């Protein structure tokens, strides 16, 4: 009765071997390394870069222990941290500022292991050190900005068609236009509908006023906000890249939040500065009706035309620009520094996306000879970067900005144009920083707690249940092996509470073995033969094991659903630990017992500790 089918042994052996394979990478340790990536996130890398890095290292005789080319970055391993630092400054110098060089640690596990997907456990920020930010994206501002640009479009269109309206205002995302007559209103409505079909209209007639309310449909609002988040994510990606972080994580969370995790970052001040920078770019026409804007300087602000505003350029000269925005930074897909081949001046060349290109083409065609201003808005400070004269119609979306003082300025402006535009402002609403020494300490604390707890359990079980106690301990070790293997294979984030959960699940997993052992003792007490006792014991314990594990599982799932960060880490380990402990208690411990006892026909006594006999009933 106590035989396990051959397939069960095979299944267990295979699982154990696989687990050993996946646990192995955790024991190889890590090497210092540098990681080289292009400053523009997501740009691919080729072998020529690899060769130039190799050459540079050879030249200055810095020995590396391996170069790895991946899709978006190159990693170079070193023996010592000293070589790593030397190499970092060397490579950064030789590659220039098109690339970012970051410090990193790479697992020393052999390649064949990583090739089959066996990687070390993925440590959370509380174990490896670093910064975690949660950013709140202010979507209502993004919506307002879009509304404002719609309204300005309407005004232009209505004026063009000579439709009589005398007031166009907006309140948050609701626009309101007052018309002179009902016919004008109907005509105006059609024009607006032509511009964009996604509006909801409402006509109001009170006190001789004829008002058209234009409301943006929910669907459009959704797409506006979705776009804003996407844009912000992209911008953040570029900015984080600038920071030179080896393995950053930038992710949308929920509807309007973004999580950023920067492992290994110590300079939190700089990280915050760069992430929090809210630069937006706008292209607007210069109002050239008034030749000398300086007349407005002395408090003559009432005389500024309603459609225009005054801003200073980089040299402090005031420039009168129109309020209407032609293009914003969102339309820029790329920007880079360059040199004008005719004049030898530093320039910035910009590439616009399709819609941007067509708008730009139209505007330049209609405004040849006039000046277009490029405004940079940073922390509520608006500055005219440059205001060149449009010389000809510019199609194809490739624009050159002249007027840069030197190459450094061109590089800076290009960087800002690439990375500078946020579709909506953001605010840091959660920050968690863990220093590097703290991370290491947390690991050793968690590991020590687990090890000593484990040792104590081994001693207790062996004394109390003898051979069956040893079998329980073996089962528990196998369980630990499975759990660590599963965590490594799934690359689930391991946090300090997660480490605590490993220890806790060990303490709880022993419950299954205890239940089984106690049941077997019970059966012997009731006068059953040893073989029968084993068989009945396992059978009777199974239902109880299932029940008690499922209730813990419910708690684990709740933690996973409602928890965040480190707590989620706890939940993941708890849930996985329950699964592995059930598997090992049912399959593994039974298989071991059957292997030792099942073959013998008759056993006189089970080594399961002393059993006190009671005269039951």
Partner 1 sequence: MEFFRVKKDIPFMKYRKISAVISTTVFIFAVLFIVIRGLNLGVDFTGGTMMEVSYPKAANIENIRETLRSINLEDTQVQNFGTEEDVLIRLPLRKDLSIAELSEKVSTALKLSNNLMEVRRVESVGSQVGDELYENGALAVLFVCIGIMLYLTMRFEWRFAIAAIIANMHDVIIILGFFALFQWEFNLTVLAAVLAVLGYSVNESVVVFDRVRENFRKMRRANVAEVINNAITRTMSRTIMTHLSTQTVVISMLIFGGEILHNFALALTIGILFGIYSSIMVGCPIAMWLGTNQTNLAISNPESKKENKEL
Of residues 557 through 596, those in contact with partner 1 by CB under 8 A are 557-559, 561-567, 570-571, 574
SS3 178: strand
Does 204 bind partner 1 (CB under 8 A)? Our answer is no
13 binds partner 1, rule: CB under 8 A: no
Q: Which is nearer to partner 1, 510 or 588 (CB)?
A: 510
Beta bridge partners of 190: none
| Minimal distance, residue 381 CB to partner 1, in Å | 18
Of 74, 175, 335, 500, the one binding partner 1 by CB under 8 A: 500
236 is a contact residue toward partner 1 (CB under 8 A): no
Question: Is the distance from CB of 136 to CB of 256 less than 8 angstroms?
Answer: yes
Nearest distance in Å: CB 553, partner 1? 7
Among 3, 93, 440, 445, binds partner 1 (CB under 8 A): 445
422 binds partner 1 (CB under 8 A): no
Q: Is 446 in the site for partner 1 (CB under 8 A)?
A: yes
Considering the rule CB under 8 A, would residue 404 count as an interface residue with partner 1? no
The H-assigned helical ranges of 492-588 are: 496-525, 530-562, 566-583
User: Residues 81, 395, 427, 600: which binds partner 1 (CB under 8 A)?
Assistant: 427
100 versus 139: smaller Cβ distance to partner 1: 139
- Of 259, 241, 266, 238, whose CA–CA distance to 493 is shortest? 259
Q: Is 255 in the site for partner 1 (CB under 8 A)?
A: no
Sheet strands side by side (includes 99-107):
66-69, 74-77, 30-38, 99-107
Q: How far is the CB of 413 from partner 1 (least distance, A)?
A: 26
Beta-sheet strand order (sheet of 199-206): 165-171, 174-179, 209-216, 199-206
Shortest distance, CB of residue 159 to partner 1, whole angstroms?
42
**Binder to partner 1 among 117, 354, 435, 527 (CB under 8 A)?**
435
- Touching partner 1, residues 56-95 (CB under 8 A): none
Nearer to partner 1, 152 or 544 (CB): 544
Residue of the chain from 279, 325, 460, 579 that contacts partner 1 (CB under 8 A): 460
Quote the CA–CA distance of 120 and 442 in Å, as a whole number: 17
**Token couple for 598:** 């099942």
Helices 6-23, 436-490: inter-axial angle, 10-degree rounding: 150
What is the closest distance, in whole angstroms, from the C-beta atom of residue 376 to partner 1 in the complex? Answer: 23
Q: Specify the DSSP class assigned to residue 302.
A: G
Answer for which of 452, 490, 491, 600 binds partner 1 (CB under 8 A) is: 452
How far apart are the C-alpha atoms of 235 and 221, rounded to whole Å?
21
Could you say which of 510, 520, 588, 593 contacts partner 1 (CB under 8 A)?
Answer: 510
What DSSP string describes 546-567? HHHHHHHHHHHHHHHHH--THH
User: CB within 8 A of 381, min separation 6: which ones?
Assistant: none
* Binders of partner 1 in range 310-349 (CB under 8 A): none
> In terms of Cα–Cα distance, which of 605, 589, 578 is closest to 469?
589
Closest CB 3 distance from partner 1, rounded Å? 19
Q: Are 106 and 100 in contact (CB under 8 A)?
A: no
With respect to partner 1, which residue has the nearer C-beta, 154 or 570? 570
DSSP-assigned beta bridge partners for residue 318: 312
> Which residues, 6+ apart, have CB-to-CB distance to 128 below 8 Å?
263, 264, 436, 439
Residue partners of 34: CB distance under 8 A and separation at least 6: 75, 76, 78, 84, 87, 88, 91, 101, 102, 103, 104
Site for partner 1 in 352-391 (CB under 8 A): none
Which residues inside 109-148 make contact with partner 1, applying CB under 8 A?
133-134, 136
Q: Among 76-84, 287-295, 501-509, 591-599, which window interacts with partner 1 (CB under 8 A)?
A: 501-509
* Smallest separation (angstroms) from partner 1 to the CB of 302: 34
Site string for partner 1, 267-296 (x = CB under 8 A): -xx--x---x--------------------
Please report whether residue 431 would count as binding partner 1 according to CB under 8 A: yes
How far CA 521 is from CA of 545, 582, 604, 609, in Å, comes to: 17, 21, 14, 9
Q: Which is nearer to partner 1, 45 or 553 (CB)?
A: 553
Query: Of 296 and 542, which has the nearer Cβ to partner 1?
Result: 542
Residue 581 in tokens: 């402990």
Coil, helix or strand for 403?
strand
In the complex, minimum distance from the CB of residue 161 to partner 1, in angstroms, rounded to a whole number: 46
Radius of gyration of the chain (CA): 34
Q: Does 470 bind partner 1 (CB under 8 A)?
A: no
Nearer to partner 1, 348 or 582 (CB): 582
Q: How far is the CB of 44 from partner 1 (least distance, A)?
A: 34
Mapped onto helix, strand or coil, the DSSP state of residue 320 is strand
527 binds partner 1 (CB under 8 A): no
| Residue 532 interacts with partner 1 (CB under 8 A): yes or no | no
CB 403 within 8 A of CB 384: no
Select from 298-306, 324-332, 337-345, 423-431 the region that touches partner 1 (CB under 8 A).
423-431
Q: Which of 522, 528, 603, 607 binds partner 1 (CB under 8 A)?
A: 522
Under 8 Å between Cβ of 576 and 506: no
390 or 500, CB closer to partner 1?
500
Please enumerate in sequence order all residues whose Cβ is within 8 A of that of 546, keeping only pairs 6 or more positions apart, or say none.
Answer: 582
Number of residues that bind partner 1 (CB under 8 A): 82
Close Cβ partners of 292 (under 8 Å, ≥ 6 residues apart): none
- Residue (250 or 321) nearer to partner 1, CB: 250
Q: Among residues 74 and 585, whose Cβ is nearest to partner 1?
A: 585
Nearest to 186 by CA among 210, 208, 206: 210
Nearer to partner 1, 495 or 594 (CB): 495
Taking CB under 8 A as the criterion, the residue among 7, 112, 166, 612 binding partner 1 is 612
CA 95, chain centre distance (Å): 27
């Amino acid at each position: 009765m106590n035989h396990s089918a051959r397939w069960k042994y095979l299944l267990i052996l295979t699982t154990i071997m696989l687990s050993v394979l996946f646990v192995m990478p955790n024991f190889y340790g890590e090497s210092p390394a540098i990681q080289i990536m292009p400053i523009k996130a997501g740009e691919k890398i080729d072998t020529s870069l690899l060769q130039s890095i190799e050459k540079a290292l050879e030249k200055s005789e810095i020995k590396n222990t391996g170069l790895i080319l991946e899709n978006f970055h190159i990693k170079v391993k070193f023996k010592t941290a000293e070589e790593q630092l030397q190499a970092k400054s060397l490579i950064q110098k030789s590659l220039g500022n098109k690339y970012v060089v970051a410090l990193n640690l790479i697992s020393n596990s052999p390649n064949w292991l990583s090739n089959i997907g066996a990687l070390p456990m993925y440590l959370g920020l509380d174990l490896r050190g670093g910064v975690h930010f949660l950013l709140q994206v202010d979507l209502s501002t993004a919506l307002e900005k879009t509304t404002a640009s719609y309204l300005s479009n309407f005004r232009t269109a209505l004026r063009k068609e000579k439709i009589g309206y005398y007031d166009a205002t907006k309140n948050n995302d609701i626009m309101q236009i007052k018309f002179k007559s009902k016919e004008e209103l109907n005509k105006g409505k059609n024009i607006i509908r032509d511009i964009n079909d996604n509006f909801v209209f409402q006509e109001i007639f009170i006190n001789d006023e004829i008002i058209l309310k234009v409301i943006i449909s929910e669907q459009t609002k959704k797409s506006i906000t979705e776009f804003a988040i996407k844009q912000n994510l992209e911008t953040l990606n570029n900015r984080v890249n600038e920071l030179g972080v080896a393995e950053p994580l930038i992710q949308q969370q929920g509807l309007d939040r973004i999580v950023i995790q920067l492992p290994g970052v110590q300079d939190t001040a700089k990280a915050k500065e760069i992430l929090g920078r809210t630069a937006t770019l706008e292209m607007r026409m210069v109002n050239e009706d008034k030749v000398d804007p300086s007349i407005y300087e002395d408090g003559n602000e009432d005389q500024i035309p309603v459609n225009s505003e005054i801003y200073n350029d980089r040299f402090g000269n005031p420039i009168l620009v129109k309020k209407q925005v032609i293009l914003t930074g969102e339309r820029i897909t790329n920007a880079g520094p360059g040199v004008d081949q005719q004049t030898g001046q530093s320039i910035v060349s910009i590439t616009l996306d399709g819609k941007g290109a067509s708008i730009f083409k139209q505007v330049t065609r209609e405004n040849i000879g006039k000046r277009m201003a490029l405004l940079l808005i940073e922390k509520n400070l608006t500055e005219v970067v440059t205001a060149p004269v449009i010389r000809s119609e510019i199609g194809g979306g490739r624009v050159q900005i002249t007027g840069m003082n030197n190459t450094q300025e061109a590089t800076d402006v290009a960087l800002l144009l690439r990375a500078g535009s946020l579709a909506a402002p953001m605010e840091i609403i959660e920050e968690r920083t863990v220093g590097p020494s703290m991370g290491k300490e947390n690991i050793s604390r968690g590991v020590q707690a687990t090890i000593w707890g484990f040792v104590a359990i081994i001693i207790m079980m062996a004394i109390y249940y003898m051979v069956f106690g040893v079998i329980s301990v073996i089962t528990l070790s196998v369980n630990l092996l499975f759990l660590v293997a599963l965590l490594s294979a799934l690359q689930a984030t391991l946090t300090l509470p997660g480490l605590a959960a490993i220890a806790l699940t060990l303490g709880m997993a022993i419950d299954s073995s205890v239940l089984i052992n106690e049941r077997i003792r019970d059966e012997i007490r009731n006068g059953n033969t040893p073989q029968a006792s084993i068989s009945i014991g396992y059978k009777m314990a199974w239902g109880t094991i299932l029940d008690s594990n499922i209730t813990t599982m419910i708690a684990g799932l709740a933690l996973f659903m409602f928890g965040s960060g480190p707590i989620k880490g706890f939940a993941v380990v708890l849930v996985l630990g329950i699964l592995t402990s059930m598997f090992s208690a049912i399959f593994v411990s039974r298989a071991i017992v059957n292997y030792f006892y099942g073959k013998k026909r008759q056993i006189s006594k089970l080594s399961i500790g002393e059993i006190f006999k009671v005269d039951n009933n």
